[in-house]
């Protein structure tokens, strides 16, 4: 009896299942935000979010890539409403879009050139990350997600390249999909499954069309994870030093958004100029010829943004090992956080590693040129040298430089880094040496 009495006298905290009333906004906005706090989240993550005060215009490529992705999806949807994924009518449907659909030429040229500019921005984004060590602790996972996005981009771009069903589209699809036949035991079956037949034709085109859309929307989802990871660990900065107090940070808006808007405007102006005055500059003229399985082009090449990896593929005589080398050349980027184990992030304070980065970028452009040249003679030799250096950069230079390099004197904080810049201490090694 006494036990029952004591239980009845116990006090319990009330349970609140309805979490309304926490919004800082009023009116209709507050009512919506109480029930779906997306406005509150946006304000926290994109307006009040603290970023390092030393961010430069090189950190604007995230916003540029977001704009490119949105425009690619919008223009792609517009093109998809008129395109026919049929080997007999695909080329004609593209021509109809260009000639008969209102502003169809503009939409197609925009989509076509946006894919190139998307890769330009991505490559600049990667080179900036390499130079400033944005792949290092605590951003390893964010870097790996970025590499996954890059793989998906390449797959989407290749599939999109096949859709116009021009001469280079057809033969590019034939050559690239045939690479899967190098896989031991199951290679031929994989190729047949991709083609849906025993040759690239109508079934393959339908598969490419569906996969192009599927992977494109998959990219959107993975990009969301990339952004979430960024907001958890925060942005890197030119100094490579993590923020220590409020003197090292500023609000994302307006300090960073203003730079992003300027960079986006400049990028879009360049894009519009290219699209209007040289829309086919980065394309191949053979793609304006209908696909003909009976006529092989003298020189089959992919789009320009695949050329460095195409050169690596061709530099290896064995088909299977060539495919392995091509895939590994990209996957090696994902291993860099563990291959480069220097505690210093930014190349500003790493004189030897800085030179290695410059040589790596130069090698990238050399391989790009070789990828567009015939696989013979001096071109083949240069391609093999470039391929050897590509892998040496990751598996030899990165760990070796981490061991032997003596970093330059560094500031203790980001705001001190900014003071050093104002005083000109970052311009020469001599000035650094005076501060030892």
H-helix segments, 163-295: 167-178, 187-195, 202-233, 257-277
Alpha-carbon Rg for the chain in angstroms: 26
Range list of H helices, 340-413: 351-371, 377-392, 398-404
Q: Which helix (H) or strand (E) holds 51?
A: strand 50-52
H-run or E-run covering 249: strand 249-251
Q: Could you tell me where the beta strands, DSSP code E, fall in 298-346?
A: none
Catalytic hit among 82, 84, 96, 231: 231
- Selection from 410, 417, 132, 45 nearest residue 248 by Cα: 417
Reading the block at residue 241, the tokens are 């030093």
Please give the distance of CA 9 from its chain centroid, rounded to a whole number: 63
Q: Which residue has the tokens 């590994």?
A: 328
Distance, C-alpha 291 to centroid of its chain: 30
231 is catalytic: yes
The residue annotated as part of the active site, out of 33, 248, 286, 303, is 303
Identify the active-site residue in 260, 340, 363, 418.
260
Distance CA 405, CA 341 (A): 11
Instruction: Tell me if residue 244 is catalytic.
Output: no
| Cα–Cα distance for residue pair 325/327, rounded to 1 Å | 6
Q: Annotated catalytic, 2?
A: no
Q: How far is CA 100 from CA 81, 104, 215, in A?
A: 14, 7, 29
CA distance 304 to 163: 17
Task: Based on the residue annotation, tell me whether 235 is a catalytic residue of this protein.
Answer: yes
Out of 54, 115, 235, 329, the active site residue is 235
**Active site residue: 96, 259, 421, 425, which one?**
259
Could you tell me which residues come within 8 angstroms of residue 183 by beta carbon, excluding any fewer than 6 positions away? Answer: 190, 320, 323
Quickly tell me which residue has 């994924």 as its tokens. Answer: 85
Question: Tokens 């093999």 identify what position?
Answer: 384
- Helix (H/G/I), strand (E/B), else coil: 352: helix
Q: Is 303 a known active-site residue?
A: yes
Please write down the long-range contacts of 423-429, taking CB distance under 8 Å and 24 or more positions apart: 426/348, 429/351
Q: How many CB atoms are closer than 10 A to CB 257?
A: 15
C-alpha–C-alpha distance, residues 28 and 137, integer Å: 43
Record the tokens describing residue 24, joined without a space: 């800082």
Structure token digits, residue 418: 């900014």
Determine the Cα–Cα distance for residues 186 and 79; give it in Å rounded to an integer. 35
Contact 238, 54 (CB under 8 A): yes
What positions carry a catalytic annotation?
A: 231, 235, 259-260, 303
């Amino acid at each position: 009896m006494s036990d029952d009495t004591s239980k009845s006298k116990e006090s319990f905290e009330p349970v609140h299942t309805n979490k309304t009333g926490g919004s800082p906004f009023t009116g209709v906005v507050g009512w919506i935000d109480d029930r779906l706090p997306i406005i509150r989240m946006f304000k926290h993550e994109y307006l009040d979010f603290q970023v390092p005060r030393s961010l430069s215009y090189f950190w604007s490529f995230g916003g540029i890539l977001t704009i490119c992705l949105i425009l690619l999806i919008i223009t792609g949807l517009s093109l998809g409403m008129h395109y026919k994924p049929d080997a007999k009518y695909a080329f004609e449907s593209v021509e109809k879009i260009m000639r008969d659909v209102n502003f169809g030429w503009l939409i197609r040229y925009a989509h076509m050139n946006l894919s190139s500019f998307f890769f330009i921005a991505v490559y600049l984004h990667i080179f900036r990350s390499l130079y400033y060590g944005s792949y290092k602790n605590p951003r390893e996972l964010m870097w790996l997600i970025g590499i996954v996005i890059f793989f998906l981009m390449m797959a989407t771009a290749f599939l999109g390249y096949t859709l116009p069903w021009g001469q280079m589209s057809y033969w590019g699809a034939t050559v690239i999909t045939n690479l899967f036949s190098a896989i031991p035991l199951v290679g031929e079956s994989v190729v047949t499954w991709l083609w849906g037949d025993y040759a690239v034709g109508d079934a393959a085109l339908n598969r490419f069309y569906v996969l192009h859309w599927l992977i494109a929307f998959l990219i959107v989802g993975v990009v969301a994870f990339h952004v979430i990871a960024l907001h958890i660990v925060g942005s890197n900065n030119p100094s490579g030093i993590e923020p220590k107090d409020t003197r090292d940070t500023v609000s994302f808006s307006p300090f960073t958004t203003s730079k992003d808007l300027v960079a986006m405007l400049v990028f879009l102006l360049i894009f519009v100029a290219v699209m209007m005055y040289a829309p086919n500059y980065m394309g191949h003229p053979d793609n304006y010829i209908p696909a003909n399985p009976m006529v092989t082009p003298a020189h089959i090449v992919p789009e320009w943004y695949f050329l460095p990896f195409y050169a690596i593929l061709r530099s290896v005589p064995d088909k299977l090992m060539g495919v392995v080398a091509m895939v590994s050349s990209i996957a090696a980027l994902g291993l860099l956080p563990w291959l480069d184990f220097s505690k210093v992030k930014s190349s500003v304070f790493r004189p030897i590693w800085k030179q290695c980065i410059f040589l790596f970028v130069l090698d990238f452009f050399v391989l790009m040129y070789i990828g567009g040249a015939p696989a013979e003679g001096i071109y083949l030799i240069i391609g093999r040298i470039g391929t050897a250096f590509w892998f040496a950069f990751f598996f030899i230079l990165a760990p070796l430089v981490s061991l032997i390099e003596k970093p330059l004197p560094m500031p203790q904080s980001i705001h001190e880094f900014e003071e050093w810049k104002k005083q000109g201490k970052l311009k020469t090694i001599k000035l650094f040496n005076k501060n030892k």
